[in-house]
Amino acid sequence: MASSLPPTFRKYVVHTLSTDFNKATRLETLKTADVLASIPPTHVVIKHHYWAINASDINYTAGRYDPTKKPPFDTGFEAVGEIVAVGSAVKGYKVGQPVAVASYGAFTEIQVIDYRMVIPVPSLRPDFLPLLVSGLTSYLALKHQGQMTTGETVLVTAAAGGAGQIAVQLAKRAGNHVIGTCSSDAKAEMLKKLGCDRVINYKTENVKQVIRKHYPRGVDIVYESVGGQMLQDCVSCLGQKGRLIVIGSISNYASSESNPEDTKGDGKKKVFATGFGEDAVSTVALLNKSATVAGFFFPHYAKEYPAALRDLFKFVDEKTLTPVVDMVDFEGITSIPDAIHYLHSGKNMGKVVVPLIRSDKQKSHL
């Protein structure tokens, strides 16, 4: 296998902290032989075939998850590939085996990683990627912060995105009434196919008005990833003992960095402790409904990944969960910056994935 690898490979390295991926990173070239010559005993070497894009990729390039981490550092969260070499102490993995990774440093053509952080997958397929960060986030957030049961009304914002589409299907699978918000008629059609009972195109309908008219008792669970005005509308739509889960705030990601208009009333620049921007929630609105707002941060649930992932794979095998990928016309590692821009433009339907080599069959959404 090593003889069939290219003499060099490329990876994205963060050199400047920024939410602008192009500004933050450089695509560096390394020698394959150097990597293969010094494999740590407990590590494997993976040649990636597919990379997944996350809205939070630009939070990581901005240094927002670990303020103590200084450039240069590798970036990217998810990929699927094949093992091309193994360290002397590696157990249970072999050359040629298809695997996935869900850890920092995935935006590389060849990755060296501890085998205990590798996830076995049945084959080299892009539709396993929505089950990793997005799928696990949806599964664990709805289970723990949402305390989802059955017979409830669940509202999912950005429902046609990588995480939203999984949350919709999990909520429906559990026997709930599911409402999804999106930004186009095409996305609305996709969500109906995935089981949404009511789709709200927020470009043509007012989310708060629709919920108050058709769901006067409010909703039981909100799976929220947009932030800003959408978050405020969702808080107001909670029913008694409703639970709102904050899994992200994509509307704040790119806009909260070095914005000259982002100032306090005294003209001084706002400083956010997390660097993400912030949304205020009325405690009175929560008190009056005995409602709760809970955050969900993916790394805090690492111990539960294996069991949750087994369930997600089982749901796919049972055909009660259909991961949707969106590859448009991306191809190769150099497409990653365009794919990140595409996701933040709001055009994607499903999980944005960049293939090493694209075939014509990989264009469709669903």
For 102-127, the pLDDT digits (tens) are 989 999 999 999 999 999 999 999 99
Q: What is the structure's pLDDT at 331? A: 96
Domains in the chain: boundaries: 2-124+324-362, 133-303
Q: What is the structure's pLDDT at 304? A: 96
Q: What is the structure's pLDDT at 365? A: 47
Report phi then psi at 195, rounded to 5.
115, 5
Mean pLDDT across 198-203: 97
CA–CA distance, 244 with 156 (Å, rounded to integer)? 10
Q: What is the DSSP letter of 143?
A: I
Q: What is the structure's pLDDT at 358? A: 82
Q: What is the structure's pLDDT at 258? A: 41
Q: What is the structure's pLDDT at 3? A: 47
Domains 2-124+324-362 and 133-303 share a fold: no
CA gyration radius for the chain? 21
CA–CA distance, 222 with 180 (Å, rounded to integer)? 10
Q: What is the DSSP letter of 270?
A: P
CA–CA distance, 110 with 30 (Å, rounded to integer)? 10
> Side chain identity at 248, as an amino acid letter?
G
**Element spanning 138, H or E:** helix 133-140
Residue pair 324/351 in contact by the 8 Å Cβ criterion? yes
Q: What is the structure's pLDDT at 116? A: 95
- 59: closest CA among 225, 182, 241, 170? 225
Residue pair 93/116 in contact by the 8 Å Cβ criterion? no
**Bigger pLDDT: 258 vs 136:** 136
pLDDT at 363 over 80: no
Q: What is the structure's pLDDT at 277? A: 61
Q: Are strands 325-326 and 351-355 parallel, antiparallel or unpaired?
A: parallel
Superfamily for the 2-124+324-362 domain? Medium-chain alcohol dehydrogenases, catalytic domain (3.90.180.10)
Q: What is the structure's pLDDT at 85? A: 96
pLDDT band at 361 (very low <50, low <70, confident <90, very high): low
**Distance of CA 21 to CAs 4, 226, 273, 335, 338, Å?**
31, 20, 22, 12, 9
Mean pLDDT across 224-252: 94
Structure tokens at 278: 């912030």
Q: What is the structure's pLDDT at 360? A: 53
Residue pair 79/150 in contact by the 8 Å Cβ criterion? no
With DSSP H G I counted as helix, E B as strand and the rest as coil, what are the percentages for the chain, rounded to 5?
Answer: 35, 25, 40
Peptide bond into 67 cis (omega under 30): no
Residue pair 80/133 in contact by the 8 Å Cβ criterion? no
Four-way CATH pick for 133-303: 1.10.760.10, 3.40.50.720, 3.40.50.1240, 3.40.50.150:
3.40.50.720
Q: What is the structure's pLDDT at 271? A: 37
Q: What is the structure's pLDDT at 279? A: 85
pLDDT band at 326 (very low <50, low <70, confident <90, very high): very high
pLDDT at 262 over 60: no
pLDDT at 357 over 50: yes
Whole-model pTM: value is 0.89
pLDDT at 4 over 90: no
Mean pLDDT across 338-353: 96
CA–CA distance, 357 with 171 (Å, rounded to integer)? 34
CA–CA distance, 366 with 177 (Å, rounded to integer)? 22
For residue range 267-307, what is the model confidence (pLDDT) as tens digits? 444 433 344 567 889 999 999 999 999 999 999 999 999 99
CA–CA distance, 48 with 82 (Å, rounded to integer)? 6
CA–CA distance, 14 with 55 (Å, rounded to integer)? 17
